[in-house]
Structure 1
């Protein structure tokens, strides 16, 4: 550190020079030596504070490392949902807080705060993704050793999705036309997820072996997996019609226009709009795509007496417990024995 005097037309001036972490800092034009020394002290203090801040792990860096790493493994929609849930923590904190200052008490206060405006099921998802964020760092970076979001789940009301009745499904199929009708028929004939049909390619279709390869990331770990599904008569008819009328060399359901994302597949919004339109045309209560898998499960169980094992493999669930949750939302299997009990005592009613 040095303060040097020099002469100018206006008189005597001082320049200040010092080094910090190998970098040289200087400034000239001070009227007094005291002013120059004060500048050095203040500038060094500011640089030391910035250096200290850089060594402290802040939430923004913590989150960025996680999302960038997971972007290679998870699809864009999942990353979007996780980012939105993590953003809720930023909104609550109000500042980019050091990670070491986010404690279990912080997590509980976050939970209590958002419970005023969010249902428990939504808040549990926020906490789940924040817990995953900390767990990822514990396993992959070692930057943290404890997880403040390991807090009790809030009790949730059981979610019962709306499963359209057969009459409504039939009405929608009756008014459906074009690619939309083929899309719905293929979903129903395969019990596939919407995105599995949306991203189906001709390379996934084997007419000779009568197989359809469905790809999904809806598995633990998020990696893409695929299953070969037997092609039944309905699926074969739809796919042969699509192939005869194909407008794209790869996509079974191609995008109508070139999207900004350059995706070759029909967009999610287009499929949503298509189903909303068909429901309106049919005059039925609107439903979404996912309940169609529940509907197929109900047909397999109630009409075709399929076992839990068979339904599990049609839906391609890894665990039978997941399939059991689907069936719990449908007509209860105890309905028949309960009706038989009613017959026993009907004479006394």
Structure 2
């Protein structure tokens, strides 16, 4: 068996030593050691050259795998893996990214739109774009990015909220549920605007009864930013009652003191008993925001309470600010003219 140095192998393969070192580290090329010196045998080199993907080809699988490994600590890592799998199945694992063009992407998008919504396709395109950009930046490449300008128009965000009397009806219905904490969860969601995961993951050490607020650390929030939520008297009273019955470190836990995983089924049954249609758990958060807007609370204040990254997200509730609209209309007299001439 003939042995080659790494420099000799790099020259034979016409790649840099840096690229060759990566191949060795990933196990694509096996080395043997003569003393402390790494060598690659001719049989191993022949096996590598006989692989299906030509050396130097940057495949979609390589680009996505690189992105997922670098971003493995993202909160959305599991969702990214599912979207990456969809991209690989639709575009092909061995898609050559150097020759990847818009027509291939549009064919993928057309197929996907027969099964999922435009927003789902946009999330998949966002992942693909981010993966290409990261690979280009880290590997000093110039791969084309056909996703530019391909984002689809999405329908206006859904805003479903309850009137106060409907909310009370839902709470009463939840008290009849076999899930003992359901009604208390609904009250806290309505009066804090917190997300489902933020409430189900809430621990007692982050509830300040004396100063009436609860703390959501960065690791507990979607935006990864710490925020404090002042407690409405009704929310505070609910927490006081729950604290008397606490079984573990979590505010919402089962009889063994373990964190509650899901309450979707019991919530939907409570909605059905209360004759409330087309209402989801997340809509409790919408309801809190809607009530605040209709009371004239500024959007920036609501943004901070809900933990939105931008006030643009909060603006989906702006149409509910009827008080400001009425104030504006009051500047008109019955003939439709302004009461005072504008200079």
Q: Name the TM-score class by shorter chain.
A: 0.7 to 0.9
Matched residue of 2:88: which SS?
A: helix
Distance 1:123 1:312, change over 3 A: same
Aligned residues between the structures: 296
Corresponding position: 1:336 with 2:340:
no
Structure 1 match to 2:225: 225
Distance 1:217 1:70, change over 3 A: farther
Post-superposition shift, 1:291?
1.9
**Are 1:202 and 1:251, in contact at CA under 8 Å, matched by a contact in 2?**
yes
Aligned partner (choices 284, 289, 294) of residue 281 of structure 2: 289
Query: In the aligned structure 1, how far is the partner of 2:53 from the partner of 2:173?
Result: 66
Post-superposition shift, 1:266?
1.0
Larger Rg, first or second structure (1 or 2): 1
**Are 1:164 and 1:295, in contact at CA under 8 Å, matched by a contact in 2?**
yes
Which 4+ residue blocks in structure 1 deviate beyond 6 angstroms?
Answer: 338-343
**Are 2:292 and 2:302, in contact at CA under 8 Å, matched by a contact in 1?**
yes
Structure 2 match to 1:35: none
Query: In the aligned structure 1, how far is the partner of 2:42 from the partner of 2:126?
Result: 47
Structure 1 match to 2:40: 22
Post-superposition shift, 1:295?
1.4
Aligned partner (choices 97, 104, 117) of residue 99 of structure 1: 97
Distance 1:153 1:46, change over 3 A: same
Post-superposition shift, 1:199?
0.7
**Are 1:312 and 1:320, in contact at CA under 8 Å, matched by a contact in 2?**
yes
Query: In the aligned structure 1, how far is the partner of 2:78 from the partner of 2:259?
Result: 19
Query: In the aligned structure 2, how far is the partner of 1:293 from the partner of 1:93?
Result: 38
Query: In the aligned structure 1, how far is the partner of 2:329 from the partner of 2:45?
Result: 84
TM-score by length of 1: 0.72
**Are 1:134 and 1:144, in contact at CA under 8 Å, matched by a contact in 2?**
no
Post-superposition shift, 1:179?
0.9
**Are 1:138 and 1:146, in contact at CA under 8 Å, matched by a contact in 2?**
no
Post-superposition shift, 1:95?
4.2
Post-superposition shift, 1:47?
4.3
Query: In the aligned structure 2, how far is the partner of 1:218 from the partner of 1:152?
Result: 26
Corresponding position: 1:300 with 2:300:
no
Structure 2 match to 1:7: none
Cα deviation per residue 1:193-226 (whole Å; 9 max; x = unaligned)? 111111111121122333210234422xxxx321
Corresponding position: 1:235 with 2:235:
yes
**Are 1:294 and 1:327, in contact at CA under 8 Å, matched by a contact in 2?**
no
Query: In the aligned structure 1, how far is the partner of 2:83 from the partner of 2:126?
Result: 9
Unaligned 5+ residue runs, structure 1? 3-19, 26-42, 259-263
Distance 1:141 1:180, change over 3 A: farther
TM-score by length of 2: 0.73
Aligned partner (choices 152, 155, 158) of residue 153 of structure 2: 155
RMSD of equivalent CA atoms = 3.4
Corresponding position: 1:64 with 2:89:
no
Matched residue of 1:147: which SS?
A: coil
Post-superposition shift, 1:245?
0.6
More strand by share: 1
Query: In the aligned structure 1, how far is the partner of 2:149 from the partner of 2:107?
Result: 11
Post-superposition shift, 1:87?
2.5
